[in-house]
Amino acid sequence: MAELGQLEKPDAGSFAGKRKLYCVADVYPLKDAPDDYTGLVNRYWDEVERQTAGLERAGKIVKIFCESISAQGDEALAALEKLNEKVHGMVKRRVQEGAVLLPVEEEEILAPFLDWANCLNVVRTKEVFVKVFGFYTDLAEKRLRHAAGAIGEGLGQGEAGLLIMRDEDRVRLQLPEDIEIFLVTPPSYDDILKWLRQRLKEHEPETQS
């Protein structure tokens, strides 16, 4: 994979003819979330819009890849609207400008992967956890291999693409080395991570003294 970079005003000439991928961490709104979290999420996606616009000096986005999307066309946009309205709005605008939303998931892999992930949330015994985690890990690896292949095949020479995926998955992608990677990291992303860590800490069970 090409060296990771974070750049708001790239020198367009230095990336001419190269494949470019602008990577955005997927941040989901939470149902019935407190106003402060909702405000952070809204600010995050506004900042993402501004930063990606700056990155497009190196190449206008013509291909879009978004996690959890296995369909194409209007069906893909409809599915995205149910998952994340902020992402849907951003992607729809770019599709209307000529970009193409390509599937990055394979439903035969994604569906059981999500099922095993849900199972991990309810497992109570270590023995069952180990078995379920093995199935989950196997499908997680297949899922990322498929995603990397879809991006490598879908992004043409000299094109710029947008990848929207959770950071913990994106860092494990084995993408072709000729793709230049740019990270879109708005300041509010750190604020969201701090908010989530604090909320998790507040809900941790107290240890017995």
> What pLDDT score does 207 carry?
46
Ranges of beta strands (E only) in the chain are: 4-5, 19-25, 61-66, 100-103, 160-165, 179-184
- Going by C-alpha positions, the residue among 41, 17, 48, 15 that lies closest to residue 162 is 48
> What pLDDT score does 9 carry?
52
The Cα 100–Cα 204 span in angstroms is 43
pLDDT in tens, the chain (209 residues): 444 445 445 565 678 789 999 999 999 888 888 999 999 999 999 999 999 999 999 999 999 999 999 999 999 999 999 999 999 999 999 999 999 999 999 999 999 999 999 999 999 999 999 999 999 999 999 999 999 999 999 999 999 999 999 999 999 999 999 999 999 999 999 999 999 898 888 766 554 44
The Cα 174–Cα 138 span in angstroms is 16
What is the DSSP secondary-structure string of 138-167? HHHHHHHHHHHHHHHHHS-TT-EEEEEE-H
The Cα 203–Cα 132 span in angstroms is 25
> What pLDDT score does 170 carry?
96
